[in-house]
Structure 1
Amino acid sequence: MTTCTSKIIKFGEDGLQPMNPSSQCLNTSYLSLGIIGIAESEIPIDVEKVMVPLRTDLLRVNPAFSSVVVRKHGKQWWKRVEVQYEDHVIVPTFPQGLSPESYTQYFEEYLSKICLDKLSETRPLWELHIIKYPTQGAAGTFAFKMHHALGDGFSIMGALFSTLKRADNTSLPLTFPSTTSRSKEKRNICKSGLNFISGCFNTINDIVSNMMHTAWFGDRPSAIRSGAHSVECLPVHITRITFSLDDISQVRTKLGVTVNDVIIGIIFHGTHLYTKSVDEMLQNNMWGNQFSFIHIPIPSYSDGQKVDLKDFILQAQKIIQRNKTSMAVHINGLLLSLMGSLRGTEAVSKYVHSTLKNTSFTVSNLIGPTEKMAYADHPISNLYFTVTGSPQSLVFLVMSYLGKLTITISGEKGFIDLPLLVSCMNKAFEKIVKEAST
């Protein structure tokens, strides 16, 4: 993957530039999405040093980072302003003299809080939160919050990467793993008339079934979907787990699948174990509190049916491969554009909101650099991200960095039991790695 940025904004004589339709759809009364990129520093944070790349690098990525939102004639526009950095850099105060374990809890609570806080449209739509206290994983932590109106996930994380440099040599560019796989090469060779017919059938079936089920009916309430009204406004709890990419690659090679297949399979199996555990708790009265899309049905198994973790990975591979032969993703994108032209961005935003709201959870992943990075001479030990404003009880965010793969889990507070879910995910991972090594 190569770092990419949003399309360069050009302003007219009135100082305004129309926001692109996709960005407008993500910043309405129906839907307001954001991304928080989190970087863990190996050394205590020097705030003065941190200010330098903000001034020299970030604002050069895209003028939107130095623009405010103006609403005019029923549309949203970018307007350039003078950035007041002190309004964007926030250094919270925690109690002194606590243990790294306690500061980790304080940071997680703080992260949950800023997920709910709205970015003010009176200033550019980004903030940098600097946590100067040592947690279990870092001497200090950067939390870079950006509104999705600034760009898609790749663009926003690309902006973050623009402020990060290689720790070994700042003059060299960051490099990213190749996404080319043997399965992709095989697909290019095996194209045939039968595949074309199958792809057409899959496309029609996906468009009809996805629109009817996801946008109108939705998944039923379950242990991973509360179905609560305005769930995006409810408090969330955020945690993360980290796996070895070498172990995942070993599984990929053993089963002849892709890294994505392994990740989705582990998430499927982890949530399956979690759902079974929650059902047992409920039966024994142990439970206290409870723009285009690729729609992936969660594999289901009847009670008493023997479940093999490899089955989840192979099921994930089958479903993902099927979606790759379908044009539904691209056609859905075109339909959303057409809806925006005919009915406006508010209608598209409402549709996207209903689509997310009616699904059990979302998985979003990004590929990070292979070299260690540094931010203003602060070596970064880990990098991960989460999203804000998604109308779902559960979201998985996946990112690779330095031979590790971190899965951030955002769950509805008081409903999703994150410690139990993390335990189930770890159990699924350990099981498949053990099976792959034999």
Structure 2
Amino acid sequence: MEIRTRRGRPHIPEIRVEKKEEEEEQPLSPAARLFHAPEFNCNIISVVGLKSKIKPAVIIDGIKQTLIRHPRFSCKLVESGNNQRREQKWVQTKVVAEDHVVIPKIDMHNIENANADAFLDSYVSDLTTIPLDTSKPLWEVHLLDLRTSDAENVAILKIHHSVGDGMSLMSLVLACTRKTSNPDELPSLPNQKSSLSGSRSYSRLFWLVMALWSVAMLVLNTVCDALEFIATTMFLKDTETPIKGNFRLSTSKRMCCVHRTVSFDDLKLIKNAMQMTVNDVILGVSQAGLSQYLKRRYGEQEEPMPKGIRLRAALLVNIRPATGIQDLADIMENGSNCTWGNWIGYIIFPFSISLCDDPLEHLRRAKFIIDRKKNSFEALLTFIVGNFILKSFGVQRAANILKRALSNTTMSFSNMVGPIEEISFYGHPVTYMAPSVYGHPHALTMHFQSYMNKMTVSLTVDPTVISDPHRLCDDWEESLRSIKAAVQEKSCTH
């Protein structure tokens, strides 16, 4: 990794990847083949708000020095054979950066403030209906000269999920950026501190008993989670709520993508007061927000919200053993010889849908469940078993099994940690990042992306099921405020 400086232009990081002759053609990994199955034609779409006017020539020049130097971004998908014995390969090709950059003409005379936000939502929604061109590498960058309520201009990255998982692609984006305060430095990510603490004065017998108990609970939890996943695949379905799609009947191909940015400091205040992680807080607030939203939807149907709602989310978990921004940049430098690709496991997380008199009860319930899930190999097990099914029974069988399992749950959920300082995307300071994914059998996907002192909530919804995603954002934000108020009130009474 090195920095090239050009007179009059911003510092642009250059990714150098040694391409070996044998890498001219590579078969798709089992997971990448799965993402090309009709049941899982998944794409990652990321909206990046910028603080300055876009300079297309600068961004295109930066893409030439970074993205197209990475093997997966300079390969196209080549298919041969029939449906029963179809072969799919990544084949190196000459990439023309300008062919991957879309600059739409936007008439700004009739677009102001809220109208600009609605235009952006509509533009991103339209992108979900247009497949990527398989005659060239499977990615696009859209540059919108559009001033919204929270950005001067907007860049949209659309990448097929077979190219890599969220962590891979986040690492690539981060490797293409630098700190605004110092264009020679990589972005900084928060330190991941261990949540384990305690005194070392206990006896060896105590630690031995605790270790044996921990191993026993780990095995028990893993077995229970495995049985639940099998049951979910076969017959265990979530309650038919107003946010659960029916993918056996649905013909909708358009998804609606919206986002809302809130204060990360509010989340950290709750985290510190309740002695839990930011992820615990996000899950608790989401549980409260979903409860409020469902209460309203049932009220509109003049029905009471049923008790004992089973509403589960598939939590995406990164299996890759990489930590820190420098490690992510190293992955980019080493290209396909390192841990690039789709390393994703799943956790089935049950949300407790109810109206609690004490808003903090949502946090306690979420933490209790996620702590138990952490003491399980569920994510690793789903990753290993998924690869085994793919290799042993083929993509179609694996796609049918996974689609059945996910269709019996209600939603997808993910959370990613972003830079703690302002970064620039090819010389353009970034104000927010709102990534998400579509193409899987869920009517609702919630993704959370931290950046500086902000947290951006991204919702991807099937509009035939959830026609008012902004109201769900409102309920999430209102739940955050009520939980923060309850925490502050609790702190004042102690």
Say yes or no: TM over 0.5.
Answer: yes
Give the superposition deviation at 1:10: 5.2
> What residue in structure 2 maps to residue 309 of structure 1?
359
| Deviation string, structure 1 residues 341-371 (Cα, Å, up to 9, x no partner) | 2111232233222222221111111111111
Q: Residue in 1 aligned with 2:407?
A: 357
Matching residue of 1:288: none
Q: Deviations over 1:31-72 (max 9, x none)?
A: 111111221111111111110110001123x30101011224
Please name the residue that 1:16 is paired with: 25
- Pairing 1:299–2:349 present: no
Q: Is the 8 A contact 1:239 1:418 kept in 2?
A: yes
Q: Secondary structure of the residue that 2:350 maps to in structure 1? A: coil
Aligned to 1:430: 481
Residue matched to 2:77: 69
* Aligned amino acid, residue 85 of structure 1: A
Q: CA deviation at 1:162?
A: 2.1
**Does structure 1 residue 332 correspond to structure 2 residue 332?**
no
Q: 1:68-87, CA deviations, whole angstroms, 9 ceiling, x for partnerless residues?
A: 11224533210001112232
Q: CA-atom RMSD, angstroms?
A: 2.4
Residue 219 of structure 2 aligns with an amino acid whose one-letter code is C
Q: Is contact 2:113–2:148 with CA below 8 Å preserved after alignment? A: yes
Give the 3-state SS of the residue equivalent to 1:12 in structure 2: helix
Alpha carbons of structure 1 residues 33 and 85: separation in structure 2 relative to 1, 3 Å: same
Letter in 1 for 2:107: P
Alignment partners' CA distance in 1, 2:95 and 2:188: 31
Aligned twin of 1:49: 58
Cα distance in 1 for partners of 2:410, 2:156 equals: 27
Change (3 A) 1:234 1:309: farther
Q: Which moved more, 1:166-175 or 1:393-402?
A: 166-175
Matched ranges for 1:155-194 at <5 A: 155-181=168-194, 183-185=195-197, 191-194=210-213
Matching of residue 25 in structure 1 with residue 34 in structure 2: yes
Return the alpha-carbon distance in structure 1 between the equivalents of residues 62 and 293 of structure 2. Answer: 42
Stretch moving more, 68-77 or 16-25? 68-77
1:389 lines up with 2:439 in the alignment? yes
Amino acid across the alignment from 1:241? R
Match for 2:22: what amino acid? G
Query: Secondary structure of the residue that 2:450 maps to in structure 1?
Result: strand
User: CA–CA distance in 2 between the matches of 1:133 and 1:414?
Assistant: 27
User: What is the match of residue 102 of structure 1?
Assistant: 115
Q: Do the aligned partners of residues 96 and 427 (structure 1) sit closer, same or farther apart at CA in structure 2, a change above 3 Å counting?
A: closer
Q: Deviations over 1:352-407 (max 9, x none)?
A: 22222221111111111111111222111111211121221111010000111111
CA drift at 1:414: 3.6
Report the counterpart of residue 418 of structure 1 in structure 2: 469
Using a 3 Å threshold, how does the CA distance of structure 1 residues 137 and 195 change in structure 2: closer, same or farther? Answer: same
How many Å separate the matches in 2 of 1:294 and 1:309? 25
Alpha-carbon contact 2:359-2:486 (below 8 Å) kept: no
TM-score (norm 1): 0.90
Alpha carbons 2:125, 2:257 under 8 Å: kept: yes
Shift of 1:428: 0.5
Confirm whether residue 201 of structure 1 aligns to residue 201 of structure 2: no
Structure 1 match to 2:135: 122
In structure 2, the residue corresponding to 1:294 is in which secondary structure? strand
What is the alpha-carbon distance in structure 1 between the residues aligned to residue 469 and residue 165 of structure 2?
27
> Counterpart of 2:104?
92
Of residues 79, 86, 96 in structure 1, which corresponds to 2:91?
79
C-alpha spacing 1:54/1:117, structure 2 compared with 1 (3 Å): same
Which is worse superposed, 349-358 or 46-55? 349-358
Contact 2:39–2:440 (Cα < 8 Å) also in 1: no
Determine the structure 1 residue equivalent to 2:454. 404
Give the direction of change, closer, same or farther, for the CA distance of 1:307–1:74 in structure 2 (3 Å limit).
Answer: farther
Structure 2 CA distance for partners of 1:95 and 1:299, relative to 1, 3 Å: same
Counterpart code for 1:120: D
- The question of 1:273 aligning with 2:286 is answered no
- What is the distance in 2 between the residues matched to 1:113 and 1:401? 26
Q: Go from structure 1 to structure 2 and tell me whether the alpha carbon gap of 1:231 and 1:50 turns closer, same or farther (over 3 Å shift).
A: farther
Within 2, Cα distance between the matches of 1:378 and 1:401?
15
Judge conservation of contact 1:65–1:126 (CA < 8 Å) in 2: yes
Distance in 2 between residues matched to 1:135 and 1:332, nearest whole Å:
40
| Of 135, 141, 146, the match for 2:159 | 146
Query: What is the rounded CA distance, in whole Å, between the counterparts of 1:264 and 1:63 in structure 2?
Result: 36
In 1, distance between residues paired with 2:73 and 2:95?
Answer: 9
- Give the paired residue count: 422
Deviation at 1:284, TM superposition (A): 7.3
Partner of 1:259: 278
Contact in 1 for aligned 2:30/2:395 (Cα 8 Å): yes
The alpha-carbon distance between structure 1 residues 284 and 80, as it changes in their structure 2 partners (threshold 3 A), is same
Query: Secondary structure of the equivalent of 2:135?
Result: coil
1:214, distance to aligned residue in structure 2 (A):
4.7
Q: Deviations over 1:269-305 (max 9, x none)?
A: 10001001111110179xxxxx42110011144xxx6
- 1:292 touches 1:332 (CA, 8 Å); kept in 2? yes
Tell me, yes or no, if the aligned pair for 2:48 and 2:155 is still in contact at 8 Å.
yes
Contact kept in structure 2, 1:94 and 1:106, CA below 8 Å? no
